Amino acid sequence: MREQLLAAEKVKAIEWRDGTLYLLDQRLLPQQEVWLAYDSAADVAEAIRAMVVRGAPAIGIAAAYGLVLGARARLAESDPYWQVALEDDFTVLAESRPTAVNLFWALERMRERLQRLKSGEAPLAALEAEAVGIHQSDREANLTMAQLGMELIRKHQGNSQNILTHCNTGALATGGFGTALGVIRAAYLEGLVERVYADETRPWLQGSRLTAWELLGEGIPVSVNADSAAAHLMKTRGITWVIVGADRITANGDVANKIGTYQLAVNAMHHGVRFMVVAPSSTIDMGLENGEDIPIEERDPRELLEVGGQRIAADVDAVNPVFDVTPADLIDAIVTEKGVVERPDAAKMAQLMCRKRLH
């Protein structure tokens, strides 16, 4: 399975080559495939804010490389207090987006690596190795989660089935081939998936632009639907699972994910459709008791009021929260690389976080 999955790894969104960070510009997909090069922390922060790169694990990885770029510039100034100056880079990267905790988790790992520097150790090489390690371990986590999530699907229903997903949780959003989309890929390889229904994911259209493009590239049957069609599809199209990713999971198992996820979970409960969340442990924030404390990003209302820069709405204001919180009691399973939590609650989440990684 591992080899088959790795062979399916066709798309990449992040590349670190010869000290430069390359990002596939996700604002232009699927019409254009344009790679942009970055060599400063501030520019990487702006790329995250503008969603050149997006998806919780991917923005954590990009921020880690951004910090390497920041350190390189600070060290080049031969300032003995370069670590103090580097705090500005930590800040600018941390302020790029508020909801996905992977961003802060990755920056924290970079900070800890800095604090562990031994005398005589080359700081830049150490930081670069740490960022590459963050990237690589996300890829490994994807593989483990794909296997665990696929087994869960098989355990509950042996036959081929239809799956509904939201936003983009694939290769574009991670360091590997995806979280929720990784599980869907693995399940498809095992003959457990007939068709994927991809919510278009208004307003940024991660579903119709990115998820559909990734699945199409692999020949996995996919149809795009309006977000508001989801309940109807659950009722009429034999959907057995809703499978989504996460941007932050709190200590009690509440899940922040792309706006629209919460209403999917409510509808899934009503229709007896199982609801699976797939996320690496870097998405789990044990420092927050429950989802009420998660900062929810609000983006420019023009994302809703305009299409392609052209105004489509009446002359009104708009509210544009881009994440929502699904309460733990609507979730059947949270799949991580450390293991699976069924019917999540605080005790089970605490137990999960005590475990070592499975891979």
Give a three-class secondary structure readout of 97-154.
CCCCHHHHHHHHHHHHHHHCCCCCCCHHHHHHHHHHHHHHHHHHHHHHHHHHHHHHHH
Options 27-35, 154-162, 239-247, 267-275: segment touching ligand MRU (CB under 6 A) = 239-247
Cα distances (angstroms) measured from residue 302 to each of 171, 179, 190? 27, 29, 42
Minimum CB separation from ligand MRU for residue 57, in Å?
A: 5
Q: Does 163 bind ligand MRU (CB under 6 A)?
A: no
Tell whether residue 56 is among the known ligand binding residues.
yes
Residue 202 is inside which H or E element, if any? none
Least spacing, CB of residue 246 vs ligand MRU, in Å: 6
348 is in an annotated binding site: no
Distance CA 29, CA 31 (A): 5
Which residues lie below 8 Å from residue 316, measured CB to CB, with a gap of 6+? 305
- 276 belongs to the binding site for ligand MRU (CB under 6 A): no
State the minimum distance, in angstroms, from the CB of residue 280 to ligand MRU: 8
Q: Is 247 a catalytic residue?
A: yes
Q: Are 106 and 134 in contact (CB under 8 A)?
A: yes
**How many residues make contact with ligand MRU (CB under 6 A)?**
17
What is the rounded end-to-end Cα distance, in angstroms, of the chain?
14
Residue placing its CB nearer to ligand MRU in the complex, 100 or 152: 100
Q: Which of 247, 254, 285, 332 is catalytic?
A: 247
Considering only the stretches 17-25, 119-127, 171-179, 328-336, report the one whose residues sit in contact with ligand MRU under the rule CB under 6 A. 171-179
Among 206, 252, 267, 336, binds ligand MRU (CB under 6 A): 206
Q: Which residue is nearest to ligand MRU (CB)?
A: 245
Question: What is the spatial distance between Cα 106 and Cα 86, in angstroms, rounded to a whole number?
Answer: 15
User: Binding residue for ligand MRU (CB under 6 A) from 55, 70, 176, 203?
Assistant: 55
Q: Given phi > 0 = left and psi -120 to 50 = alpha, else beta, which region is 339?
A: left
> Which residues are known to be catalytic?
247
Binding site membership for substrate: which residues? 54-56, 97, 206, 257-258
- The residues binding ligand MRU (CB under 6 A) are 54-57, 100, 167, 169, 173-174, 179, 206, 245-247, 257-258, 322
